Structure 1
Amino acid sequence: MSKTKANRLTRVVNLIDKAPAGWRTGLLSLVFGKSVKFAGTAKVRVHQLTHERSELSIANRKKVQNHIQGVHAAAMALLAESATGFLVGMNVPDDKLPLMKSLKVDYLKRTTGGLKAVASLTPEQIHAIHTQDKGEVLVKVVVTDEAGIEPIACEMLWAWVSKQRKSA
């Protein structure tokens, strides 16, 4: 990874990483849930967040269930979007905004229990985010249920742009 100044999210994660191991998931999830209200409402849990990888989960609880007691389609998409978005957020400089450009979710199987999403970026993708003024990146994310089955296949395209709007 290129050597660049840590952004705000990275500084928060680094601070949380100094806490006792048993507290980290709870603290990461609390911070995440306060900044992304919908994810907080759904109780998305953040287990790992680095520049290269994120791991999040959602429990199959009544508030996120569909009519057949599985995790609702919107909650599945929220989990995948959150895993990729926070990963991109770990890398985007403070003077840039990460923006979801497109989201594609194919629903393949019924779910068993809760879900886990693991998103990753390559060193080349990280370098591009750190060095280009604007751009986009297709973030790999794998979502599995408690049976180890991938109930959805996702494509999450994220962009980054300057926080400063250019005047017309």
Structure 2
Amino acid sequence: MTQLNKVSKTVARLEKAPKFMRTWVLSTAFGTMIPYAGRSKVRVEKLTHSQSVITIKNKRSVQNHIGSIHATAIAIAAESATGYLVAMNVPDSSVPVIKTLKVDYEKRCKGNITAEAHLTDAQREQIKTQEKGEVTVPVTIIDGENKQPVQCEMIWAWTPKRR
């Protein structure tokens, strides 16, 4: 059975919204908790204990000088996909912290982007049972042409909350 923490309980409550509103409700909630993600128009398409799917639309507010999604917006999509996923699993007694953000821009992104991250059962068990540790979370970035122009990998740590 999956252990629920405050984040996963909140997501479970928000998932009860009508289907046509779920992405908006989840995105608004996370955008309020993490203002930079909100300003970057990060959209939470799917969030479970083992998978997250985040999108950013190619709109003027997130574009660079050549009309594609800015490198920083791509990085925030990757960080959000992995961070929200780790946050769904880390016990309430701990806090998740990004340790390493590795982003290799190989080609220009065209159109909207989707960032998808996964945790294995072994990784989830590690997060749940170790008081502190770290986990490497790969994330796939797919653009509007269904290509992977950016390769990403994030290392997340968790430590006990300070009392």
Task: Report the TM-score range of the alignment, normalised by the length of the smaller protein.
Answer: over 0.9
SS class of match (1:39): helix
**TM-score by structure 2 length?**
0.97
- Out of 88, 102, 105, the residue aligned to residue 104 of structure 1 is 102
How many Å apart are 1:164 and its aligned residue? 2.1
SS class of match (1:94): coil
Which residue matches 1:18?
A: 16
Which residue matches 1:133?
A: 131
How many Å apart are 1:63 and its aligned residue? 1.0
The superposition leaves residues 27-74 of structure 1 with CA deviations (integer Å, 9 ceiling, x where unpaired) of 000001001111100111001000000000001111111110000001
Aligned pairs, number: 163
Query: Following superposition of structure 1 onto structure 2, how do residues 1-168 of structure 1 map, counting pairs within 5 Å?
Result: 3-4=2-3, 6-164=4-162
AA of the residue aligned to 1:147: E
Following the alignment from structure 1 to structure 2, what is the Cα–Cα distance between the partners of residues 131 and 108? 37
Following the alignment from structure 2 to structure 1, what is the Cα–Cα distance between the partners of residues 34 and 95? 15
Following the alignment from structure 1 to structure 2, what is the Cα–Cα distance between the partners of residues 149 and 131? 37
Provide structure 1 residue ranges, at least 5 long, that are not aligned to the other structure.
none
AA of the residue aligned to 1:92: V
Over 2 Å off, 4+ runs: none
SS class of match (2:49): coil
AA of the residue aligned to 1:32: F
Identity across matched positions, percent: 48
How many Å apart are 1:3 and its aligned residue? 4.2
How many Å apart are 1:8 and its aligned residue? 0.5
Following the alignment from structure 1 to structure 2, what is the Cα–Cα distance between the partners of residues 39 and 115? 15
How many Å apart are 1:160 and its aligned residue? 0.4
Following the alignment from structure 2 to structure 1, what is the Cα–Cα distance between the partners of residues 97 and 2? 23
Following the alignment from structure 1 to structure 2, what is the Cα–Cα distance between the partners of residues 164 and 133? 13
Following the alignment from structure 1 to structure 2, what is the Cα–Cα distance between the partners of residues 43 and 71? 11
Q: CA RMSD in A?
A: 0.9
Provide structure 2 residue ranges, at least 5 long, that are not aligned to the other structure.
none
